[in-house]
């Protein structure tokens, strides 16, 4: 790097060809998983009005945002996630579409955070939003789509944990906490902090505090819900949420999705209202969460009619990192053929032949006017398995030479057959 001031900004990354191929492969895997369930892709602008992001989360979130004022005096923000933008798109463009509406997206997001491994200031998310069904089967579909997408990536070691913020919120409500206080407690829970001092400060009764802390520590299999019900005796609202969760798990079981329960999942963002889930990948350390989602309510915050919605977002950068750490390498596109003009007289013909070869297989042409020996050494270094040598003598016979770089064998091929070379090499 000649001069530091021309280096990339802090928290951003350059994607080199190999990783870019892996990313495109991952995007393809996600697209086909999402489309397999009938989801259709949408795209929203990279920036939105600041208000869209702070409407639910409050001014507090501003310190994590890339917000700015444009030349027209508008307060804008580089999107920190895509759920709010997609809900805005829904309200602006699609409220009359048939329900349920299944949308998916892939896009970059921006957060002003302290960079570390797996945490960047610009990162990519892929996710879905399912709009219009209030039923457990919609929630389970969203979880099943996330599980199916992950299955397609072939990531060996991960854990999908389901929680229910409705239970936590009911306990807090019973303890007298308003929306704002609930949000503060949920936020602290999400960060893994001790929430008792905060609840004491809010005047939440000791018994409620005990219930909340007890519930938030429950982790395990389905049996955890029965334990939760014991804790919740007397709180009918919370009990009905727990029963709802059991119904949801029944439906998930019938779809063969593997999961665990963690009733302490609170999610950082404040719009979640019911089922929540997170997926953690092995080998990532602190930033191990590769996916988060759940049931939320946002449309009414944006002035629309209350609409049942749920969705999730994968962090693609983290998922790729997890795949690398777990030794799961996506298939890479190998270079296949190099066309080398042997002598300056054959350059035009070599370009013509390259174009013909490209009809059936990717091919590159020698561009550095290297002698044959050096061009072959380059092909060797790059792992290019076949070289087509365009020499004057062979051309006179209407042929070129195909060299197998692995065995060193050479044979002549007729020029008019080169457009089908890909089929021959398989
Ligand atoms: P969230 O919108 O916070 O639920 O994030 C959804 C997913 O995006 C997380 O599970 C992460 O995998 C990913 N993610 C969130 N923040 C970052 C970040 N700063 N850098 C990389 N990935 C992130």
Report which of 221, 217, 240, 255 is spatially closest to residue 137, judged by C-alpha positions.
255
Shortest-distance atom of ligand 1 to CA 115: 19
* pLDDT given at position 338: 97
Which tokens belong to 38?
């009938």
* pLDDT given at position 317: 96
* pLDDT given at position 1: 67
> Nearest residue CA, atom 13 of ligand 1?
315
pTM, full prediction: 0.93
> Nearest residue CA, atom 11 of ligand 1?
315
The alpha carbon of 200 and the centre of ligand 1 are apart by a number of angstroms equal to 31
Pocket test for ligand 1, best of 26, 125, 311 (most atoms within 8 A of CB): 125
Q: Are strands 386-391 and 337-342 parallel, antiparallel or unpaired?
A: parallel
Q: CA-based angle 122:124:128, to the nearest 5?
A: 140
122, β-bridge pairs: 110
> Nearest residue CA, atom 18 of ligand 1?
119
Which tokens belong to 202?
């809010």
Per the CB < 8 A criterion, the answer to whether 100 and 131 are in contact is: yes
Q: Is the torsion defined by CA of 101, 52, 119, 191 positive or negative?
A: negative
Q: Hey, how many other C-beta atoms are within 10 angstroms of the C-beta on 320?
A: 23
* pLDDT given at position 269: 66
* pLDDT given at position 150: 97
Per-residue pLDDT 10s for the chain (426 aa) are: 668 889 999 999 999 999 999 999 999 999 999 999 999 999 999 999 999 999 987 777 899 999 999 999 999 999 999 999 999 999 999 999 999 999 999 999 999 999 999 999 999 999 999 999 999 999 999 999 999 999 999 999 999 999 999 999 999 999 999 988 988 898 898 888 999 999 999 999 999 999 999 999 999 999 999 999 998 988 899 999 999 999 999 999 999 999 999 999 987 667 888 999 999 999 998 899 999 999 999 999 999 999 999 999 999 999 999 999 999 988 877 878 999 999 889 999 999 999 999 999 999 999 999 999 999 999 999 999 999 999 999 999 999 999 999 999 999 999 999 999 999 887
As a whole number of angstroms, the distance between CA 16 and CA 52 comes to 34
- 296's CB contacts (< 8 A; 6+ apart) are 83, 269, 271, 272, 273, 309, 310, 311
The alpha carbon of 120 and the centre of ligand 1 are apart by a number of angstroms equal to 9
Residues with CB under 6 A from ligand 1: 81, 111, 113, 119-120, 123, 125, 268, 289-292, 313, 315, 317-318
* pLDDT given at position 271: 83
The alpha carbon of 315 and the centre of ligand 1 are apart by a number of angstroms equal to 5
* pLDDT given at position 75: 97
Per the CB < 8 A criterion, the answer to whether 78 and 12 are in contact is: no
Shortest-distance atom of ligand 1 to CA 119: 20
* pLDDT given at position 405: 96
- 343's CB contacts (< 8 A; 6+ apart) are 391, 392
Per the CB < 8 A criterion, the answer to whether 110 and 281 are in contact is: no
């Amino acid at each position: 790097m000649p001069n530091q001031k021309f280096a990339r900004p802090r928290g951003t990354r350059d994607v080199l060809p190999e990783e870019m191929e892996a990313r495109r492969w991952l995007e393809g895997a996600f697209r086909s998983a999402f489309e397999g369930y009938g989801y259709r892709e949408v795209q929203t602008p990279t920036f939105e009005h600041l208000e869209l992001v702070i409407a639910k989360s409050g001014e507090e979130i501003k310190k994590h945002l890339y917000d700015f004022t444009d030349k027209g005096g508008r307060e804008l923000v580089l999107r920190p996630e895509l759920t709010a933008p997609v809900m805005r798109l829904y309200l602006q463009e699609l409220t009359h579409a048939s329900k349920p509406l299944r949308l998916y997206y892939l896009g970059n997001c921006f957060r002003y955070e302290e960079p570390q491994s797996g945490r960047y200031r610009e990162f990519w998310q892929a996710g879905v939003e399912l709009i219009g069904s209030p039923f457990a089967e919609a929630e389970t579909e969203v979880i099943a789509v996330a599980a199916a997408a992950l299955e397609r990536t072939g990531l060996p070691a991960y854990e999908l944990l389901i929680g229910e913020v409705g239970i936590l919120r009911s306990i807090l409500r019973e303890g007298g906490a308003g929306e704002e206080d609930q949000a503060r407690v949920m936020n602290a829970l999400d960060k893994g902090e001790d929430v008792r001092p905060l609840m004491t400060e809010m005047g939440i009764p000791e018994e409620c505090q005990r219930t909340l802390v007890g519930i938030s520590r429950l982790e395990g299999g389905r049996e955890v819900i029965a334990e939760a019900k014991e804790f919740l005796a007397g709180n009918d609202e919370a009990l009905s949420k727990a029963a709802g969760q059991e119904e949801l798990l029944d439906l998930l079981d019938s779809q063969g999705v593997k999961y665990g329960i963690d009733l302490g999942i609170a999610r950082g963002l404040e719009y979640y209202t019911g089922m929540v889930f997170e997926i953690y990948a092995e080998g990532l350390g602190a930033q191990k969460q590769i996916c988060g989602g759940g049931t939320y309510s946002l449309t009414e915050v944006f002035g629309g009619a209350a609409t049942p919605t749920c969705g999730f977002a994968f962090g693609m950068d983290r998922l790729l990192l997890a795949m690398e750490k777990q030794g799961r390498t996506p298939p890479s596109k190998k270079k296949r053929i190099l066309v080398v003009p042997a002598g300056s007289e054959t350059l035009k013909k070599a370009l013509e032949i390259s174009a013909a070869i490209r009809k059936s297989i990717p091919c590159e042409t020698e561009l550095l006017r290297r002698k044959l020996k050096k061009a072959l050494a380059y092909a060797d270094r790059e792992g290019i398995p076949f070289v087509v040598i365009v020499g004057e003598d062979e051309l006179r016979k209407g042929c070129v030479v195909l060299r197998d770089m692995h065995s060193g064998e050479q044979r002549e091929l007729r020029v008019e057959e080169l457009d089908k070379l890909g089929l021959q090499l398989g």
